[in-house]
Amino acid sequence: MRLALNADLGESYGHYTLGDDAGLCPLIGAANVACGMHAGDPNTMAAAVELTRRHGVSLGAHPGFNDLWGFGRRPLAMSPAEIEYLVAYQIGALQAVAALKGVRVTHVKPHGALNGMAHDDAGIAMAIGRAIRAVDRDLIYVANLGSQMSRAGAELGLKVANECYADRVYDRSGKIMPRSAPDAVLDDPERVVAQVLAFLELGGIGRFGDWTIEGRIDTICIHGDGPNAVAIATRLVAELTHTGIELVPLARLDF
Amino acid sequence: MRLALNADLGESYGHYTLGDDAGLCPLIGAANVACGMHAGDPNTMAAAVELTRRHGVSLGAHPGFNDLWGFGRRPLAMSPAEIEYLVAYQIGALQAVAALKGVRVTHVKPHGALNGMAHDDAGIAMAIGRAIRAVDRDLIYVANLGSQMSRAGAELGLKVANECYADRVYDRSGKIMPRSAPDAVLDDPERVVAQVLAFLELGGIGRFGDWTIEGRIDTICIHGDGPNAVAIATRLVAELTHTGIELVPLARLDF
Amino acid sequence: MRLALNADLGESYGHYTLGDDAGLCPLIGAANVACGMHAGDPNTMAAAVELTRRHGVSLGAHPGFNDLWGFGRRPLAMSPAEIEYLVAYQIGALQAVAALKGVRVTHVKPHGALNGMAHDDAGIAMAIGRAIRAVDRDLIYVANLGSQMSRAGAELGLKVANECYADRVYDRSGKIMPRSAPDAVLDDPERVVAQVLAFLELGGIGRFGDWTIEGRIDTICIHGDGPNAVAIATRLVAELTHTGIELVPLARLDF
Amino acid sequence: MRLALNADLGESYGHYTLGDDAGLCPLIGAANVACGMHAGDPNTMAAAVELTRRHGVSLGAHPGFNDLWGFGRRPLAMSPAEIEYLVAYQIGALQAVAALKGVRVTHVKPHGALNGMAHDDAGIAMAIGRAIRAVDRDLIYVANLGSQMSRAGAELGLKVANECYADRVYDRSGKIMPRSAPDAVLDDPERVVAQVLAFLELGGIGRFGDWTIEGRIDTICIHGDGPNAVAIATRLVAELTHTGIELVPLARLDF
């Protein structure tokens, strides 16, 4: 079995630093790089691209809402056409910065509230998909397992990587609990590893003996902005490798 | 003789409208579209791209400093590397929005203070050129006639379109006077037409019997944000056509 | 009967101009000045303050969400505490700019989506009221007639000016229809005048023979960003004066 | 001898955290709080105000250029009038947020590039002073010892607190070296303490046996964003107290 671990990189901004990109990048197979709307700027994008180049990690755009103050975590009412433009803008911006380093963008993963809205809303999920297809139809659409994004990607003929979260708790609908909910974010490495192994055994997300939403898991997200992100990632890599899972760059998976 | 008229389009932002894009676009051969830093947003970019598509006008990126409040007209200290990333970011963003409309970006013209700084500063002019070359080496670098931009473009093997301004007064160094100087902006159509015809006869910018900086003129800029921009452009098109000059899209010129 | 007409002023930003402040200011009794979040900047605020000073118009803060791109018209999830800080920030900013011109801020009117949310949500309406009270308990809280804002202001012991809109259509709940609804904005001076006279006769907002939400009307809002805003305001002033209504600065009303 | 230590607080923004405000606040006598232009937002301002209240620290506004990306460290061309509005805006915003916590703003210290420009430029130094005077003529103008700010404050009849930097190296003109210069920032607690003690003995800034710019030192700035800021501050407090210097809140000094 082959999997790619993914994490958000390049979420700093100007004088502000967020996350330990240098520590995390060697451990992952796909970096989702913020593109200047909810976080990131041309300099942080270039630095993140350079890290992915050095470590052979697949480079992805991580488009979000234009809300730096809210870090893209607040829903914003936008029409599907506006979302198409917003997402295309961010993918293209990263492609061009990546070109300066001789790197190609190979996937796209929506960020924060945009991701949450696209999970349930077919119109938004399709708008993101159309933006991806127009910019480069070989780009992989990273989509929550069981979401409208998965469906939209398939309908548009795009490569879809089904994703689940290592460190976020799911509700029975298959959606991650909001960060504001109690215990919504797992920060104990044991629990993170246990959840991931359970998902892989279940063949989807869910809880043993309770509920399952089945689906092929292609990529597992670990968050890079927690205080022990590198420790969690290190532990997860070790456990998965020990279990016989091959961790690869996202773009090397078959779609 | 063949020339392209160019103008800045897509300089609106959100709820704010600037310039009469719909009135100006049919009159020009090249549109320089703001890319979200000094002006513009993904929606205005898409609208400007759509106008260029409809009217067969060459589409260009118009990268500027990240200073919406100052409209990119205030110099900002940035290193050459930072400028490379900033310019690449904006070109790529426009390319991707343009892809949604099936249009290609074919030129790049720096905006405002970035343009003014690149005129004199070889380091900045080269940084812009390297960004252009990395993103797409077929992009035309629109450069002030006689500037470091012209030299940088040539040194990097890029197509260079030499530009002069129809409605801005030059000093003897071949640089446009700052907007704050008295009479620095021509808003009388007669004077605009007279200046352009004089430049074409001189074979460069300058003043008859006084000074000339020679060079091939490929493209003439008219500003779109003045109250009578469309009237001036209409008049200029008529005069130039009457003089036997063929006005073409910028990308159709030979380089 | 005495009334104050109010309008939003100072909604320009940097290089972008919005509305005809100079044309509108002489016609109104209260100016709601944007404070740099959804629109406005320190320069536009100073210019708007100067206009109110010259014309003897009551000066008010017009706080909105921190969303320049969306002009503060998109709802944003913020806690009551965050809204208190956000509103206080904007009132204080205007007070200080006004101090440079020797003018006092005398009222506060929430803008756009913040206004719409405070209409129905007691928590938000109270948060705005607490910000007003902490900064200056003599400030008038301009509140939609029949809204939670009116109630919050009364509960907090603030002066409340009940407002209705001259040029917006109401639904039966007493809320203005969203701008996106068909015919939600009246731009025919006849209809605007007719609606205002009907409200004054009804003693509240509503429709004759259909529904009424009664309440004292203190101030009537006219929008300044429509193309014929000055024409509408001129007409309305003439009609109201003709009807015997005394139009006064908002701060001269009795509370 | 009585002195106030001052430090910049509230320089976080949205999701981004900068500096150890909680660790530093108990050690200082004056907090310069970012006001939402170069850093800070209404939430961070409220949190910083609350810290100053709890620890009895004098609260000051720390106005800077409207350049979050550059953290207010890049010079921007603005007219004196524009700077008056910009500074007043930020002071007022903090006053209002502070009012929510029952705290008064008692000083103003310009930030970053604005501070550097005001050091030499009488027009800018006076503009800042006029903003302070208009908003509250009891506010203390924190000014680099020997700068145009000191002169402007005196000329305007304001209280002036002369400041020197504990951890920045000065050139012979009495100006701090730019951060980009080698060794411009002292991060060794021994050297910081030594420089402060030398300044106090010299009765101004300078170097023993070399040069001195004399002047009463009222307040000493320590930077809060270095990795060992709290350690340096702790050491400095201990040494100064040991030397018999009384460290007090800035507003308790006599002017």
Name which of C74, C82, C179 to mutate to probe chain A: the one with the most chain A Cβ atoms within 10 A of its Cβ: C74
Name which of A44, A67, A76, A89 to mutate to probe chain B: the one with the most chain B Cβ atoms within 10 A of its Cβ: A89
Give the Cα separation of B64 and A157 in Å (integer): 36
Q: Chain D partners of B70 at a C-beta cutoff of 8 Å?
A: 76
Give the Cα separation of B63 and B11 in Å (integer): 11
Average pLDDT over residues C137-159: 98
The amino acid occupying position A175 is: K
Instruction: State how far residue A191 is from chain D, nearest Cα, in angstroms.
Output: 26
Picking from A133, A11, A138, A120, the residue whose alpha carbon sits closest to that of residue A62 is: A11
- Say yes or no for a CB contact (<8 Å) between C74 and A76: yes
Average pLDDT over residues B232-254: 96
Q: Average per-residue pLDDT in chain B?
A: 96
Task: Among B216-225, C139-148, C241-250, D33-42, name the one with the lowest average pLDDT.
Answer: B216-225
A234 touches C: beta carbon within 8 Å = no
C50 band by pLDDT with thresholds 50, 70 and 90: very high
The distance from CA D80 to its chain's CA centroid, rounded to whole angstroms, is: 21
Average pLDDT over residues B224-239: 90
| b/e C210-238 (16+ beta carbons within 10 angstroms → b) | eebbebebbbbbbbbebeebbebbbbbbe
- Say yes or no for a CB contact (<8 Å) between D93 and C97: no
pTM of the model: 0.97
C225 band by pLDDT with thresholds 50, 70 and 90: confident
pLDDT, residue A23, reads 96
Average pLDDT over residues D185-192: 92
Instruction: State how far residue D59 is from chain A, nearest Cα, in angstroms.
Output: 24
List Cβ neighbours of C109 (8 Å cut-off, separation of 6 or more): C6, C32, C60, C61, C62, C115, C142, C163
A210-244 pLDDT, tens digit per residue, is: 999 999 999 999 987 778 889 999 999 999 999 99
Alpha-carbon distances of D34 from A39, C157, D37, D63, rounded to whole Å: 20, 32, 8, 6
pLDDT at C223 over 90: no
C203 band by pLDDT with thresholds 50, 70 and 90: very high
Task: Among B226-235, B244-253, C132-141, C193-202, name the one with the lowest average pLDDT.
Answer: B226-235
Q: Average per-residue pLDDT in chain D?
A: 96
Name which of A69, A73, A76, A179 to mutate to probe chain C: the one with the most chain C Cβ atoms within 10 A of its Cβ: A76
Instruction: State how far residue C67 is from chain A, nearest Cα, in angstroms.
Output: 8
pLDDT at D228 over 90: no
Instruction: State how far residue A233 is from chain B, nearest Cα, in angstroms.
Output: 30
- Say yes or no for a CB contact (<8 Å) between D69 and B70: no
For residue A59, the cross-strand partners are A31, A105
- Facing C135 at nearest CB: one of D66, D90, D99: D99
C53 band by pLDDT with thresholds 50, 70 and 90: very high
Give the Cα separation of D144 and B106 in Å (integer): 51
Average pLDDT over residues D28-36: 98
Residue D55 tokens, joined: 């620890």
* % of chain A surpassing 90 pLDDT: 93
C227 band by pLDDT with thresholds 50, 70 and 90: confident
- Say yes or no for a CB contact (<8 Å) between D76 and B76: yes
Instruction: State how far residue C179 is from chain B, nearest Cα, in angstroms.
Output: 13
Residue in chain C lying closest to A67 (CA): C67
Give the Cα separation of B105 and B97 in Å (integer): 10
**Cα B67–Cα B73–Cα B75 angle in degrees, nearest 5:** 80
pLDDT, residue C226, reads 78
Name which of B43, B89, B90, B108 to mutate to probe chain A: the one with the most chain A Cβ atoms within 10 A of its Cβ: B89
- Facing D77 at nearest CB: one of B66, B69, B74: B74
Residue in chain C lying closest to B40 (CA): C69
- Tell me the Ramachandran region of residue C156: left when phi exceeds 0, alpha when psi lies from -120 to 50, beta otherwise: alpha
D103-120 pLDDT, tens digit per residue, is: 999 999 999 999 999 999
Task: Among A107-116, C3-12, C173-182, name the one with the lowest average pLDDT.
Answer: C173-182
Q: Chain D partners of B67 at a C-beta cutoff of 8 Å?
A: 67, 76
Give the Cα separation of C119 and C125 in Å (integer): 7
Q: Chain C partners of A69 at a C-beta cutoff of 8 Å?
A: 66
* % of chain D surpassing 70 pLDDT: 100
- Say yes or no for a CB contact (<8 Å) between B77 and D75: yes
pLDDT, residue B228, reads 87
Tokens 């830093």 locate to: B37
pLDDT at D11 over 80: yes
Alpha-carbon distances of B82 from B65, B78, D111, rounded to whole Å: 11, 6, 23
Q: Chain A partners of D68 at a C-beta cutoff of 8 Å?
A: 13-14, 68
H or E stretch covering C30: strand C30-34
C44 touches D: beta carbon within 8 Å = no
pLDDT, residue C26, reads 97
Q: Chain C partners of D97 at a C-beta cutoff of 8 Å?
A: 85, 88-89, 92
Residue C92 tokens, joined: 């204080």
Phi first, then psi, for residue D91 (nearest 5°) are -60, -50
pLDDT, residue C163, reads 98
Q: Chain B partners of A90 at a C-beta cutoff of 8 Å?
A: 93, 96
